[in-house]
Amino acid sequence: MVKLTEHDGLSRETIRRRLVENELKPWRRDMWCIPEVDGTYVARMEDVLDLYAERHDPKRPVVCFDESPHQLIGEVRQPILAEPGQPARL
């Protein structure tokens, strides 16, 4: 939350301190960069959406690299089975 304060005059140091106190960075522009939306862009986007809409085919897996937190690796060694009274270990 930004705290408003009154000042008779504003020096560079006052402005710097207020920006630091409020964690403001007005020189930064965080944005999603989309190129010019033309026919080529729309065609490529339609290709991606068509791919997502396809039914699952185990012979042709679809791997999405945008936001998936999963690693595509197999087990490197056999998991240790739990014994009675012990929690499972991975």
pLDDT grade, residue 4 (50/70/90)? Answer: confident
How far, in Å, are 4, 49, 57 from residue 60 at the CA level?
Answer: 58, 16, 5
Q: What is the pLDDT of residue 81?
A: 74
16-53 pLDDT, tens per residue? 888 888 888 887 776 677 777 889 888 988 998 898 88
**Other C-beta atoms within 10 Å of 58: how many?**
5
Q: Does pTM surpass 0.75?
A: no
Q: E strand or H helix at 46, and its extent?
A: helix 39-53
pLDDT grade, residue 71 (50/70/90)? Answer: low
- Mean pLDDT estimate for the chain: 78
Q: What is the pLDDT of residue 46?
A: 92
Of 89, 69, 68, the C-alpha closest to 78 is 89
